Structure 1
């Protein structure tokens, strides 16, 4: 008896499904798609590794200084410098030595490696704290402005425009002398006063762009069906903002954070170079300020902090660009 075509195909139809095939066709969320793009981006992987290395250096700076046998600001000009105030050991004039792998600072005799390690710690700490709080403020204000509309939206938009029009550098130059004069007689408090004042300046000048971005996203999302349904059901406004709207804006927030961080690292170094940095604590910007007069005669003193700033900022910028491309739904890689 001959089999019909349908009977011949029946065993194939009865075969169990292949789990691997099901996994390949399974739906992926936008976040999973973005992470897949990042994992396939070699530039992003290299930049992320560089950023992680700098973070580890900043976190374990005290351990690294003990490992290399160096101390921060422990130089003795009478023994570590010659009659011309230049170092008597270490590169570039006296060869490499583990006692001072990056040489010593002119005038003071401080170890350049210890200054570099603690400078990375200070710069990354200030930049990270400033970026986190500026992001939180921008998210909150943007959510409120975009969802409220009416007079509150107009007031918040006006405040954003006012802050955007403020001259950032002049404001920083005006605040710094006030802080120094106020705490000049108390050196212990002066270090923390300059630390928090610098963070405050970076925060109040860094939240406006994200607030505008979030406001625009909320204006487009608030008319969607799921938001209208939540409002009809009487869901509290706070829950709508932070449980319905905010999860749909993770991508622009992550992109904004990744691009704001290198900008604040550069701003902190620039302000420290202008003398508005943390007093009594090493930072890359302050090292650049002290090293500029010796550029012709002792360039290594300047190269170390400049190279650190350059590598970190370039890695953060390239990583931010990769994150932006990965989260862009129009990107095809």
Structure 2
């Protein structure tokens, strides 16, 4: 009995068709980098979206402070061109005669007028918000760069350099921030006391310098720990064996692997600098010659009972700004490190 087949006996078998391209899978999602995955998580976080929108609104208002002031005819200083004289808007007790809360709402002064000085509260608030965000942003950028540089050197080096940099980090961490600010801020600005414009610039730069001097250590210690765990990995040792320069290993091999902790640390340090600027200005060792949220709160503390809008509006803005930055920082941390997700 013979088996029937489609081929005649003795005929050669047909060769397999190997010219076909491999079948493409249509249901497999495209691969994403860790950063893209983290950004997708961040976009799906409702708290992050709301806080980001609030922060964006405050930043736009701060940047547009001159445009808004000119468009509405409000001014942050008494001697601004076109600003009304204090006697025109204040009564005999130096309290406002127009604007809320004791008078009707008016677009001329939506948040009322500051007692004693007669400046517009809204304009002063916008310019103060602009100053606070400028100081906090510059301090965050500079302290982040300093912390990354020192952390990379301390973590990758061995021997005396690592011990010296670790000692410097521990020394600055042990020094009280408030005591250092009280000491350094007057020293930095004392030599510019004769020139008002130079004094304002010196106060701004001095405040940023104080925040940077006492703000880079935590990130440097974090980066050092990350480098200590990465420098023994195979890709770093392979780069050393083939003679890759140390600078390239630090910035091309190690630094890209630390983007997540750097982003998280930066997002959490920004609200701390905002609160520190307001606190130092409130103590009188920050900015005195230009609008600032801390200075506004300092001048308004005596009117908390009789003219509360003068105090509680800047306090509320500082609270909203710091809260939004903190919650956004927590969301960034959760997005870049799924193990910490709530």
Q: Say whether the fold is shared (TM-score over 0.5).
A: yes
**2:189·2:206 contact (CA, 8 Å) conserved in 1?**
no
Aligned residue in 2 for 1:220: 229
Q: Decide which moves more: 204-213 or 30-39.
A: 30-39
* Higher relative helix content: 1
- Measured in 1, the distance between the counterparts of 2:105 and 2:233 equals 65
Indicate yes or no: 2:47 matched with 1:43.
yes
Report the 3-state secondary structure (helix = DSSP H, G, I; strand = E; otherwise coil) of the residue aligned with 2:265: helix
Residues 237-282 of structure 1: per-residue CA shift (max 9 Å, x gap):
0000001000000000000000000001000000000001222210
- Measured in 1, the distance between the counterparts of 2:115 and 2:66 equals 23
Report the 3-state secondary structure (helix = DSSP H, G, I; strand = E; otherwise coil) of the residue aligned with 1:97: coil
Cα gap change, 1:15 to 1:180, in 2 (>3 Å) = closer
**1:147·1:222 contact (CA, 8 Å) conserved in 2?**
yes
**1:190·1:279 contact (CA, 8 Å) conserved in 2?**
no
Cα gap change, 1:163 to 1:87, in 2 (>3 Å) = same
The one of 44, 53, 58 equivalent to 2:62 is 58
**Displacement after TM superposition at 1:78 (Å):** 1.6
Aligned residue in 2 for 1:7: none
Aligned length: 321
Cα gap change, 1:98 to 1:329, in 2 (>3 Å) = closer
Report the 3-state secondary structure (helix = DSSP H, G, I; strand = E; otherwise coil) of the residue aligned with 2:339: coil
Q: Which runs of 5+ in 1 are unaligned?
A: 4-12
**1:123·1:265 contact (CA, 8 Å) conserved in 2?**
yes
Aligned residue in 1 for 2:309: 300
The one of 108, 115, 118 equivalent to 1:109 is 118
The one of 224, 248, 256 equivalent to 1:247 is 256
**Displacement after TM superposition at 1:331 (Å):** 4.6
Cα gap change, 1:14 to 1:177, in 2 (>3 Å) = closer
Aligned residue in 2 for 1:152: 161
**Displacement after TM superposition at 1:15 (Å):** 10
**Displacement after TM superposition at 1:17 (Å):** 3.8
Indicate yes or no: 2:321 matched with 1:312.
yes
Report the 3-state secondary structure (helix = DSSP H, G, I; strand = E; otherwise coil) of the residue aligned with 1:133: helix
Q: How does 1:168-247 map to 2 (within 5 A)?
A: 168-247=177-256
Q: How does 1:97-136 map to 2 (within 5 A)?
A: 97-136=106-145
- Measured in 2, the distance between the counterparts of 1:45 and 1:186 equals 45
**2:281·2:288 contact (CA, 8 Å) conserved in 1?**
no
The one of 17, 28, 35 equivalent to 2:32 is 28
Aligned residue in 1 for 2:14: none
Report the 3-state secondary structure (helix = DSSP H, G, I; strand = E; otherwise coil) of the residue aligned with 2:191: helix
Aligned residue in 1 for 2:149: 140
CA RMSD of aligned residues (A): 1.9
- Measured in 2, the distance between the counterparts of 1:59 and 1:46 equals 20
Residues 153-199 of structure 1: per-residue CA shift (max 9 Å, x gap):
00000001110111111111122333443222111111001110000
TM-score by length of 2: 0.90
**1:76·1:108 contact (CA, 8 Å) conserved in 2?**
no
Aligned residue in 1 for 2:336: 327
Aligned residue in 2 for 1:278: 287
- Measured in 1, the distance between the counterparts of 2:134 and 2:290 equals 12
